[in-house]
């Protein structure tokens, strides 16, 4: 289930970007991606991964970008999310 949710999340993110940053598809893709991550590695491991002290800057940018996408500013939100994603997984 988790791999399917992550796959659909990435598909909706890609499809939202291809359709000129459609905010509904991007928000749905983000939510599916995060829920799939919870299903794959568990709630506690996901929580501890995102909220470690050295990764707090990347987490704040990633979730801030998610909130900005939900507020219908998709280009700025995706830029914030990409920066947060790079900061988290470097």
Instruction: Give the structural domain span for 30.
Output: 1-48
Identify whether residues 18 and 30 lie together within a single domain.
yes
Q: Is the dihedral of CA 34, 35, 36, 39 positive or negative?
A: positive
Q: Tell me the pLDDT of the chain averaged across its residues.
A: 95
* pLDDT for the residue numbered 90: 86
pTM beyond 0.85: the answer is yes
Identify whether residues 18 and 1 lie together within a single domain.
yes
Residues 6 or more apart whose CB falls under 8 angstroms from that of 83 comprise 58, 61, 65
Helices (H), the chain: 2-18, 23-41, 43-50, 56-70, 74-89
Identify whether residues 60 and 31 lie together within a single domain.
no
User: Total domain count for the chain?
Assistant: 2
* pLDDT for the residue numbered 25: 95
The alpha carbon of residue 43 and the mean position of all alpha carbons in its chain are separated, in whole angstroms, by: 15
Could you read off the pLDDT of 53-89 as tens digits, one per residue? 999 999 999 999 999 999 999 999 999 999 999 999 8
Token couple for 35: 């829920």
Token couple for 74: 């998709």
């Amino acid at each position: 289930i988790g791999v399917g949710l992550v796959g659909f999340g990435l598909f909706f993110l890609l499809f939202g970007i291809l359709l000129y940053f459609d905010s509904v598809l991007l928000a749905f893709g983000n939510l599916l991606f995060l829920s799939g991550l919870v299903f794959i590695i568990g709630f506690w491991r996901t929580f501890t991964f995102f909220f470690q002290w050295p990764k707090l800057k990347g987490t704040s940018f990633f979730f801030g970008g998610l909130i900005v996408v939900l507020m219908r500013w998709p280009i700025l939100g995706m830029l914030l999310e990409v920066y947060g994603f790079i900061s988290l997984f470097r």
